[in-house]
Structure 1
Amino acid sequence: MHGHDLKHIKWEGRNVHVHQYSTQTSVNDGHSHTVQGVTSPAKNSMGHVHKYEGTTTFDDGHVHRFSGTTGPPIYLADGTHYHMIAGTTTFNDGHMHQYSGWTGKNY
């Protein structure tokens, strides 16, 4: 598993609060997939969450869809924070996968 730090994205001249994420699914039917992307924007409030959705990597001849809402922010001593993601992919090719991980930090 790996993550990325993303400080700011500009949209229409404003900073937008988003996080990148990347994690592996469980191994089911002899393979796993990567779940990765960028969360939806959120307001910079203490208890905010982000929505996320996407398609896994193409492995073993197929993909799965995933979507969810992050957990609340987990603040660090340096003022940054991250969020937990977890869920289950869609049922494709006779199976589904579980995933869990963390977003990258944001300021």
Structure 2
Amino acid sequence: MNEQHSHYLRFMSICNQPGHVHDYDTQTFVSDRHRHRMSGRTSLPEGSEYQHTHYYEGTTSFNDGHVHSFSGWTGPPVPLPDGNHYHEFYGQTTFDDGHTHYYRGVTGEAF
């Protein structure tokens, strides 16, 4: 019997397991009379399933004639009732155009 057997996997949701990432979308606090939007996707997790963090980095939106760079590590996972989780993050942008911005946010759920 020489049958070929195959499977096609189009999408797989991975939560609380190695290999997941998170989207994030927040705004900086106002500085120099304006703010910037920050959005992106985290790195893969570093650490164990239940105590891991994610690296993130990017460039803010172009507002008031300039952008800022940002980077950092999320906090540990915050569990949700359905078994998924999110992460909190905060930090400070680079100093550009004579000022910096602070930010704070939470990621979306793991996928």
TM range (shorter): 0.7 to 0.9
2:52 aligns with: 48
Give the C-alpha shift of residue 56 in structure 1. 0.3
1:30 aligns with: 33
Q: 1:91 aligns with which of 78, 95, 104?
A: 95
Q: 2:78 aligns with which of 61, 70, 74?
A: 74
User: How far apart, in 2, do the equivalents of 1:68 and 1:106 lie?
Assistant: 18
Paired-residue identity, %: 55
Letter in 2 for 1:59: N
How many residues were matched structurally? 95
Letter in 2 for 1:103: T
Give the C-alpha shift of residue 49 in structure 1. 0.3
Give the C-alpha shift of residue 16 in structure 1. 3.1
2:3 aligns with: none
Note the residue ranges of structure 2 that are not aligned, 5 or more in a row. Answer: 1-12
Note the residue ranges of structure 1 that are not aligned, 5 or more in a row. Answer: 1-6, 9-14
Deviations 1:37-62 (A, max 9, x none): 00001166100100000000000000
User: How far apart, in 1, do the equivalents of 2:83 and 2:71 lie?
Assistant: 27
- Runs of 4+ residues deviating >2 angstroms: none
1:61 aligns with: 65
Give the C-alpha shift of residue 35 in structure 1. 1.0
